[in-house]
Each structure stands twice: as C-alpha cells, then as structure tokens.
Chains A and B, each alone.
Chain A
Amino acid sequence: MIRTRFLFTAAFVAAASSACAQEGVAPAKWADTLRTEIDRASLAGDPAKVAAARAFADRVASAFPDDGLILHYQAFAMYREALVSGARGGDSGTLLERAQSIFERSLAKRPLAETHALMAAIDGQMIARDPSRAMELGIASQQSTTAALTLGPNNPRVWLVRGQGAIYTPAEYGGGLKTAEEQLVRAIALFAKDAPKPGEPSWGKAEAYAWLGQVYEQLGEKTKAADAYKTALSIAPDFGYAKALAAALK
C-alpha cells in the first residue's frame, strides 16, 4: 500500500527529527519522498499508484507552494499521469497543460535541466494530440531542449527524453530511429556517471534501456533488444513495461 510506504518514510524521517512540534519542515525530505514515490509508481505502471503519487505530489505542493523542486515533482507526477490517462483514452490534454504551467512556475524558482527536457516532451505529446500545433509547439519544444542542454549538457535524463522524442519525430525534422539510438546510447553512457544531489531527479536509467530496446526492435535487432530489456530489468526488477516488452519479444 502506498500509504504504508508513506508512513514508513515519515517514520524514518521522524527518527532524525526533534521530538517537539516545529514549523517550516524542510521541503528537501518531501522532494526525496516524492521522487521515490513517482519513480516507483511509474515503473510499476499501475494507474492507481500513478494517480496516488500525483495526489500526494499535489498535497505536498499545497504545503510548499514556493518550492521549485516540489513544483517540479508535482508537474512530473502530472506528466506521468497524463501518459497513463492518454493510454486509457482519457483527456490527457488538461493534465499536460497543467503540468506545463507548473513546470514554468518551477523553473522560475529552481531551474532544472530535467524541467526543460520534460517541457519539450510535453510539447511533443501536445503535437501528437493536435498536429496543427506542430509549427507553434515544435519551436517551443526546440527552445526547451536548448535550455535543457544549456543547463545540463551531460544530464542523462535530458538525452533520454531527447531519444524518446526522436523515436516519434519524423526523420526530416531531426528524429528517426538512428538518431534515437544515438541519443539513448549517449544517455546510458551518461547514467554511468550520474550522481544527482539528494532530492534532485534521478529517474530514467532503466527506462533508457527499455526505450533503446524498442529502437533495436524496430531496427530488427532482436538480440540487442532482448539484452537491453534484460539490463532494464536488472536495474529495476519491478519495471512492468520492460517486463511486458521482454515477454512480447519472446
């Protein structure tokens, strides 16, 4: 149960706290908790868990509305939920737009390369939903990518998001499977040196292998794909999507 994990986390944190009531709990611990919860829910791919993680992020953000990192996770949880909602045929557009707006607020408080990269990803999702916005959002997406690379030229999550986007972008607009492969391989190389600070985003390593595996599948390289899925599952044994991909490949 999610609630049990929350209680466990809270109890763990409480052990390091003083015994008397105090105001202004440092948001860093909540950023760390949110990071963990969103990551677990996303890897499991369970819509209820993803929705619960988002609700939890909303609650934490309502307590710390000026914390850039908390806002980042609130928007990130919305983005994850939008992907699930979209897959269920729901209206992911509203969630994506809300996530975009909160990411913008987050940037004003605490600029993160991941925030820019995810904003570019949201633009990509919006274009997929409404191709007439390609001209408007394609350039905005490029702008966000530029900002992401400026802030984090060696940030593996930036390259992961770029690689994911490249899979869905036509070759004539800078995407394509070969470009995606190149960017995902680069992301994986950067994950080897990735050392985010406490509370800062650390997701994506297993995902990078799962997406690279799909690129290999599309390119007809099934052995490489199977290896990639296997690596993804060795990093995150509960990664449901990688399990599904590996099973489908057999």
Chain B
Amino acid sequence: MQSYHRWLATLAVTAALHPIAGQAPATHVLRGVVTSAQGAPIAGANVFLLESTDAASSGADGRFTIRTAAQGRVTLVARHVGFAPANVDVPVDTTGDLTVTLRPRAAVLVPIKVQAGAYTAGNERGSTLTALEVVSTPGATADIARAMQTLPGVQNVDEGTGLFVRGGDVSETKVLLNNSVMLSPYNYETPTGNYTVTVNPFLLDGIFFSSGGFGARYGNILSGVADLRTQGRPVQSSLTGVAGLASVSTGADLALDHGIAVHATAARNDTELLFKLNGATRAYSPAPNGTDVSGSLVYDYRPSGQFKTFAIDRHSALGIGVDDPSFNGGYASDTHSSMVQSGWSDVFGKVAPTISVSQSSVDRNDTYGAFNLLDRENWSQLFTQTAWSPEDHYSLRVGGDLDWRDARFIGVAGQRLSAVPAAAPVVKFDSRGAGSRNGAFGEVDWRAMEALRVIAGLRTDYSSFTHVRTADPRLSLAYKLGDDATLTAAAGEYHQVSDPLYFASGIGTPGIGPMASRQYVLGWQLGENKQIARVELYDKRYRDLVGLTHDKVVVGGGTGEARGADVFLKRSIGPNFSTRLTYSYVDSKRTDPSTGLKAPAAFDITNSVTLIADRELPKGWSVSGAFRYATGKPYTPITGATFDAANNVWDPRYAAPNSARLPAAQRLDLAMSRVTRLGPRTILVYFFSVDNVLDRVNVYQYTYTADYTQRIPIRSLFKRSIYFGASLTHLELGR
C-alpha cells in the first residue's frame, strides 16, 4: 500500500520541472513605524503582509516600507522578539503613515517536563517507562511495584514488592490511587517481603513515581511517592480472560453511550500449583492464595469534565512453615482489604478543580507462634486541589486534605516479644489508635526564564496523633541546557506521622512527634523517551525518627542520614532491541532504637543494579531478560543468650547494631511472549517466563533456634520457577 507515496513522489518530480513563476511587479507602497506602547521606535521588527510574501524590517527609527502587488485590503503584521505580534487591516492603497504598536510578551515556552526525583510510567508522551514496559518487566509478573523497583533510587532490600526509597523505610513511601493513599497496597505480606501490589496494572492509565524532592501537593510522606491513576474511558469495549499457572482472571471494558464507561475485573490467585511444579523452599499451609474484585465507573459528562469511581475488594491468605528446630509452627497471615474512591475533575477556562474522597478498610490477622495480632483499620480521606493557569508561564495550585484513621489492635504476644514458641508465656492486648490529620498546600509553577522552570510550594499539616503543626517549604528547579539536556535541583522539608500502632494505648507511645527529613537533590538528564541518561545525587537528613527496639518498645527522637547517587540509562540499539540500566548507591545510617547508637540502616543496600533488555522478534514474538544485583542487607548478629528461668525463655545478646551483612542477592529472570490474532477482533497472547534462572540461593534474613545457638538462614521463597499462561481478548469497535 505504498501507492500514495509513489503518487506524491511522481508529483514532486513533475513540480520540479516547472519553471518558477516570476513575481508580479509591485504597485503599492505601504509606509509606517513600529513602536512600543510608550511610543519608542522598535528597530529590527519583521513587518509583512499575510496576503503575500512581501516583507520588510523596521529601521533604527522604527520605520518600514513595503512594496506590494496585493489588491484591496491587506493585513500588515509586525513582530519582534519579546513582543506580541500586532497587525493592522488597511486598504493596500493607504498613503499615510501606519503605526503598529507592539506590547511586551514572553516567548512561547516549550514545556520542561523533567523534575528532580520524578519518573513517570504510562501512556503519556515523555513517560520514563511506557505502560507496556511496566507490565513486561521480566520477573515483575506484571506487578507495578516490581516494575517501579527497576527505577533509580529504589533499593532491593528483600524479595518483596516494598518500595524502599533512597535509604528510607518502606513505610516512608506511600502508594496513592487517584489522589488517595492506599491503606493496604500490598498482598501476601511475609517475613521476606510483600508479593504483589493490589491494583491490576491493566486498570492503570499512568504512574507518577518520585524518589525525593516531590512537591507540596504530597503531605505526610517522608521519602517517596507512587501515585497511580486509573483508566478513563476506553477506546472500545473489550472482554479479556487470562489463565496462568497461579491465577485465573477476567476483565471487561465497556465503552457505553453518553460518555459512560465501566471497567471490571475479577481474579482468583492460588500458588499451590506453581509451587508443586517448581518446588518450594518451605512448606505452605495454605500456599499464598486470594481473590480480588475491582471495578470503576467513568462518566465523561463533557470533554473536560469527569466523574470516576473506583472500588476494589481483596482477600489473601498464606501460611509458611518456619524452619526452626525449637518451634513446631509457622507464620500465617489472612488479610481482607477494600477501598472505594470517587473523584471529580473539570476545567473551567483557566481553572481546574479536582476533588477526591475515599474510604479504605483492612482486617489483617497475623500469627507467629505465641504472637497473634488482629489489626482492623478504617481510613477516610478527602483531597481537593484547584489549579489556576492565568498565563502560559505560571500556574498556581492550592488545595488541602483531611483524613480520619481508626485502628484497633487485638492480640496476644510473648511476655518477652523475642519469644516465639507457642508455649511461651503471653500477655493479651486490645489497643486503639485513632486520630485525624488535616493539611493545606499552595504551589506556584513558574517559568522564570525560557529555560528555567521553578516550582515553589509550602504545605502545613496537623495531626491529632502528634498534636503538632508542621510547615514544609519545598522548591524544585529545572533548567534546560540546549534541546536535550536538563539540569534539576530540589530541596525541601518533609514530615510524616508514624503508623497508628505506634500511638495505640498500651503498646505505643502516645505523644511522639512527627518524623522529619530535609532533602537536597541535584540531577542531570540527557534525552527523553527512548534514549535517556540520568544522574542524580541526593542528601537526606532525618530527625525525630521513630523505631521499635528488639522488644518492640516504641522509641522516638532518632536521627539519620542517607546520601547517594542514582543512575538511569535507557537506550534502543537497532530497530527492535532496547535496554535500560539502573544503578543506585546509598550510604544510610540511623539511630538504632535499641542502643541509641548511630548504625547502618536496616535497609542500607549500598549497591543496587538492574539491567533489563527487550528484543522484539518477527511474528509477534518478544523476549526479555532482567538481571538484578543488590548488596546484602545489614543485620544485627546475636552472639549468645542467657536463660530466663522465671519466664522460661532465652534472652539474646546482640552484637553492634547492623554490624554484619547478609550475602549479596542476585537474580536473573527471562520472559517471552507472543501476540497473535485469532480473528479481526480476537487477540491471543501467550507468555512464558523463567524466574531466578540460575537458581541462586538468596538469603533475606536469619532466624535462630530458641537457645540462639544455631543460626538459620531464611532463603528466598522461590527456587528457579517457570510460569506460563495465556490471555484472550475480544475487542468490539463500540461507539
């Protein structure tokens, strides 16, 4: 089907043979002067007629003369850098002087999208990762958090999906869904990590991820932000079914009339077959399993206005045998979580309001020997923002958020919390931590110069948990160096209130203040889209950190620092091969809650490296691989124990806090898939992957026998594992 191009080419050759038409003789002369609003002459202005190609430049006195063969009325335009163009509509035979007045105007600004610490994933132009790259990341099993772990600044602390960002604890990074913080973003929480993020990546439209230096819009977050946005209206209706070794799911996208659309998914996950086929490093009872149902309703009542409601309900359970000769039991977890979020957004001229409300709840029951905790939480949130863009070169955003959180903790624990055996003496507790938080922010996004974007903001928050009002100024700069390079910098103050558990009566410490960090980020990026080189340096200073001692006593007042460098390279080599490399270096130290000494943070992973390569092959095939390396996690060795006869338990003796490291972790994952068409509207995708190809034994933790004489490594849950499945999608053109 190259005939269109052939036809154009033929015409081009023909046109080249035609003689160039001569210019008609000028018959009229237009004279005048270009001045500023104050009447000063403007030299060097470009003056021309729209009806012809006749043009002139104004002289030192602002005067111009144009000769033209045009007839009737003409539109005379004058332009000069730094001024808005002006025009006059005049008869071409005008003989008197024309005056064209120019008024100052900023140059047309090309958007500066790069920001310190910020990465985007999704379908928008300029995203760091495309949606397809997210779901096809090898070893990520289409999990968005695992895909985000391949971004710079995220340390691979364990084999889970938790986002440990730039020397921060996992609790310091919040996952937001349509402007509401998710209460329970992870599933299958185990001692060596969480296994999936609850939101199906195919329901998402875009992800904003920040490893630091984020703006005033985000409150009560100390280290990182993963801001997820669910889909709007689909192009066409579709039905999808997916069956894999550990999961069966179905989904529907319905594009209805009158601007209404519905998305719905349902899934049943069970890893029993996966572990039977691949073998398991531990005994499961039950194997990780769960169900989830989610849906959203979208109503585009006009091109710029949208109502959107998203709801998700999940249940997950697992039981893991613990390899401990002194303890015949295991760890079990059963979690039920739900979230309903509704939002409205619109644009009225230069004003764009957004409102989001949500209600989340979680019921989690964890059992580990003598320890049992039932955690019931409810969280209601309101977020609102109004953006006002009076001019191209600046916009203002103001908003606020309110939330109410109520958590109840019921359970039993060993009198010495280090005691695991189920027969150990126990204490019972029933505690509650409830409170509210309110915050307000204002932010200006200003193109101070053509090459300089400045985002300056201030937010303030108050929590009834801490009874402290905080004020956080934040600043982010981006300076374009030529077409492709951008220099970025950010600095800011950040506060976060600890988890309600830390305030709960009986088990927490009411009155502890909010944790704080001060961040400085300096970065440089070359290129966008498929070719990116990016380097960032950062320095974070923590104060008022809250932590738990070995005996789970809440201690505040800790300090810390994290310094490091992140490197991100993304490159296409040839037409069908792309690769990306992430390297993160961090040196992170914190006050050890048990000793009060400054020590490496428990998540101080000095070097993290991820290399990913994708190759597109003919006939719909694609193959990709990912290699990950991470320095071993610090841990505190136990050097011995003394027997407490009164309580019938051994009390451990600890070495210097986090003075040893686990072995380095490595993993190689491969994946391949093929897209085929069964009919005009039916697409079949089948996929196959091998995780941990080299069957590397990665150790993520040590546990001990009851008398602490024997150290037991806890290795990764997964050996070399194969996974396969297929998805079938039927498309309807719709609308």
A: residues with CB less than 8 A from B are 1, 3, 6-7, 9-11, 13-14, 17, 19, 21-25, 30, 45-48, 55, 59-60, 62-65, 83-84, 86-89, 101, 104-105, 111, 130-136, 138-140, 142-143, 145-146, 149-151, 153, 167-168, 170-174, 176, 178-179, 182-183, 186, 214, 218, 240-241, 244-245, 248
Contacts and interface: CB of A to CB of B under 8 A. Distances in A.
B71 A11 contact: yes
Interface string B67-93: 000111111010100001111111100
Given A13-B73, A47-B11, A135-B133, A86 B5 contact: yes
A146 B234 contact: yes
A132 to B, nearest CB: 4
Contacts of A140: 123-125
Contacts of B572: 132-133
Contact of B578 (A48, A111, A135): A135
Nearest to B111: A104
A1 B51 CA distance: 13
B733 interface: yes
Contact of A105 (B84, B108, B300, B676): B108
Given A1-B21, A6-B52, A179-B680, 17 more contacts: A3-B24, A3-B53, A46-B15, A47-B8, A47-B11, A55-B53, A62-B79, A65-B85, A88-B12, A105-B108, A130-B575, A132-B572, A132-B576, A133-B530, A135-B614, A139-B130, A149-B235
Nearest to A22: B89
Interface centre among A19, A55, A139 (most CB of B within 10 A): A139
Contacts of A101: 110
Contacts of A138: 132
Given A23-B86, A65-B108, A7 B72 contact: yes
A75 to B, nearest CB: 14
A150 B130 CA distance: 22
Interface centre among A88, A111, A145, A241 (most CB of B within 10 A): A88
B11 to A, nearest CB: 5
Contacts of B9: 87-89
A7 B7 CA distance: 30
A95 to B, nearest CB: 14
Interface in B88-107: 88-91, 94, 98, 101
B424 interface: no
Contacts of B620: 170, 172
Give the size category of B's interface with A.
Answer: 35 or more
B530 A150 contact: no
B433 interface: no
Interface in B255-308: 259, 300, 303-304
Interface residue SS majority, chain A: helix
Given A46-B15, A63-B75, A132-B574, A21 B731 contact: no
A76 B451 CA distance: 27
A210 B528 CA distance: 38
Contacts of B234: 146
Given A59-B48, A65-B108, A248-B3, A25 B72 contact: no
Contact of B11 (A45, A142, A167, A176): A45
12 contacts: A3-B51, A6-B51, A14-B72, A17-B89, A21-B89, A25-B75, A65-B85, A87-B7, A87-B12, A132-B574, A135-B614, A244-B3
B3 A131 contact: no
A172 B676 contact: yes
Nearest to B8: A87
Nearest to A48: B15
B87 A24 contact: yes
B544 interface: no
Given A142-B235, A172-B677, A248-B3, A10 B12 contact: no
B3 A21 contact: no
B641 interface: no
Interface string B1-32: 10111111111100100100100100000000
Given A46-B15, A87-B9, A131 B50 contact: no
A182 B732 CA distance: 12
Contacts of A130: 575
Contact of A11 (B73, B300, B733): B73
Contact of A63 (B4, B50, B575): B50
Contacts of A9: 51
A151 B24 CA distance: 45
B529 interface: yes
A88 B12 CA distance: 7
Interface in B523-551: 529-530
B651 interface: no
Contacts of B529: 133, 136
Contacts of B24: 3
A128 to B, nearest CB: 10
Nearest to B684: A172
A246 B682 CA distance: 34
Given A132-B575, A140-B123, A167 B1 contact: yes
Given A46-B11, A241-B7, A132 B578 contact: yes
B85 A62 contact: yes
B87 A23 contact: yes
Interface string B122-160: 011100001111000000000000000000000000000
Interface in B474-513: none
A245 B731 CA distance: 32
A182 B7 contact: no
Given A17-B73, A63-B50, A101-B110, A139 B132 contact: yes
A38 to B, nearest CB: 15
Interface string B179-205: 000000000000000000000000000
B530 A136 contact: yes
A150 B300 contact: yes
Contact of B50 (A30, A151, A170, A240): A30
B85 A87 contact: no
Contacts of B4: 83, 87, 214, 241
A240 B10 CA distance: 11
Contacts of B90: 21
B611 interface: no
A87 B614 CA distance: 32
Contacts of B614: 135
Interface string B600-621: 0000000000000010100010
A89 B574 CA distance: 21
Interface centre among A11, A13, A136, A240 (most CB of B within 10 A): A136
